[in-house]
Structures are given as structure tokens and as C-alpha cells.
Structure 1
Amino acid sequence: MSQPPRPSKRRQVRERVLQALYAYEASEDSVDHVLATVIRPTFEGDKTYLRFAERLFLKSADARHEADVLIDRHVENWDLSRIARTDRFVLWIAIAEMLYFPDIPPKVTLNEAVEVARAFGTDKSASFVNGVLDAVLRELRESDRLKKTGRGLVESSNKS
């Protein structure tokens, strides 16, 4: 019997950051403690992914209130406290990527968030996360807050 393919290294980073955010919120430990116990042991042998994991965790934790404001604007008839923790943390990660990682295309962020939500959330998590992130992405584009750079990341203004 063949085994399912292992997730990409970047997906593994996102999954570990999700777990770190959960630990951070549940334990109320310091950011440094969570980095030392959840993030660093997993990626200590690979500096590139360790830096990405640390930065994604720190930006996600730091921007969680800003992310909650964006989320709250795009969930109808839902109080933030009623959103499943896992879904909320996936949204935090994706919004941090949209706002603070100019080299990651929004489409990649959305796809990765949906896959992480599918793996760690409920049956409805993937579609919920996708819907919220579509709306947040639209708002960020319309308000000119989405700053993406690099080949393939900047949408052409000359659409034919």
C-alpha cells in the first residue's frame, strides 16, 4: 500500500506554526519559550525553514489583533470567540503572510491555508477559511494594503 505524499517543507512550517500559536494562546507562555520548545526543535537542522518558521510565528502572533479586525469584518453573524481556535489560527497565519511576506503569492497563501485547515480543522473548516480569506484578500487589494513583489506576484494593470 502506498502512503500519502508528505506535505511540502513550507506546509510543515505552517502546520508547526499553527501548533505553536495554539500552544502560545493556551499556555500563555512567552514567545521565546514557544519558539524554543515548539518551533526550533523541529527545524534546527535547516536554517532556511527555521528562519521562515520563526518569522511566520512571530508575525502571526504579533499581527493577531490586526488579523482579528479583518476577520471580524468578513464573518457574518459570528462572534470571533465562536470561531474554532484552529480556524482562527490558520486565518492569522494566512493574513500575516498576506501583509508581511511580499514574496509569497496570495494564491499560494490561500491554497496552503485551506489545506492546513482541512488537515487540522473540522469538515467545514476549509470552506470557511477559504471564504474569509477571499474576502480579506479583496479588502487588502481594494485598500492597497497588499504589497507583493517579484516575478509573478504583481498583477498586471494592463488587462486586455
Structure 2
Amino acid sequence: KYVCSKAFKKTKESHPESHFLPSLLKDDEDLKFALQLLSRTLLKDVALEKEIEGKTPNWDKDRIAEVDSILLKMAICELLHFPSIPERVTINEYLEIAKEYSTPKSSIFINGIFR
């Protein structure tokens, strides 16, 4: 909820005439990628969750912010299923998203997972 309300607040401030989020997709290629990533992340949810558990053995699942868990699943899915995207590009992208939409220390936590 918090992430959505934060995003809507930013949009409302920067686009007071609009009640909708501005399009984040540049073209049909972006839309195709976004839909594939969403679909694969949802279909592979259990396997991605196990992957995260394997990388966070000393962390109780409930201690990981929900946004961080979602970002980790998406990043791992992208790393595994979209080999044309360089690993460093994927990791940096998700670190930036975490800085913007999650807790102050989320990007440090996520970066630690990928080391």
C-alpha cells in the first residue's frame, strides 16, 4: 500500500491535472518485456522465493520488506530468464528502484544479496 500511495502522491504533485500514473513504457517493446517479466515472475514465484531463502539463511522471511522481496524476485527472474540483459545492468536497475520505493537501507540489503 505504502509504495502505491507514495507513487500516486509523486504523480499528483508533478502532474496535478492527471489522476493516472504517467506511462513508464516507451514503446511496444517495453510493454512486451514488462508483461514477460511479470508473467515469469508470477509463474516462478515459489522457485524465486526458495532462491531468496537460500541467499538469506540468517533472515526470517518476515524481516524482509515486502517491496524488497518483490524486487529480489523480479531481479532474479530477469537474471535467469533474460540473458540478453547484462547482469550489472539488471542489478543496478533494481538497486535504483529500491532506493526510490523501499526502505532507506533496502538498496544495501539487495546489493548484499547479489554479492
Which band: TM-score by shorter chain?
A: 0.7 to 0.9
Distance 1:73 1:108 in 2: 23
Which ranges in structure 2 are unaligned for 5 or more consecutive residues?
5-21
Q: After superposition, what is the alpha-carbon deviation per residue over 1:71-101, rounded to whole angstroms, capped at 9, x for unaligned?
A: 1111142122321110001101100011100
Match of residue 77 from structure 1: 58
Match of residue 111 from structure 1: 92
Which ranges in structure 1 are unaligned for 5 or more consecutive residues?
1-17, 20-40, 135-160
> Normalization by structure 2: what TM-score?
0.74
The equivalences for 1:21-100 within 5 A come to 42=23, 46-100=27-81
Q: Identity of counterpart residues, as a percentage?
A: 36
Higher Cα Rg: structure 1 or 2? 1
Cα drift, residue 133 of structure 1: 2.2
> Normalization by structure 1: what TM-score?
0.54
How many residues of Structure 1 are paired with residues of Structure 2 in the alignment? 96
Distance 1:123 1:44 in 2: 26
What is the alpha-carbon root mean square deviation over aligned residues? 2.2
| Gap change, CA 1:128 and 1:45, over 3 Å in 2 | closer
> Where does structure 1 differ by over 3 angstroms across 4 or more consecutive aligned residues?
41-45
| Gap change, CA 1:43 and 1:98, over 3 Å in 2 | same
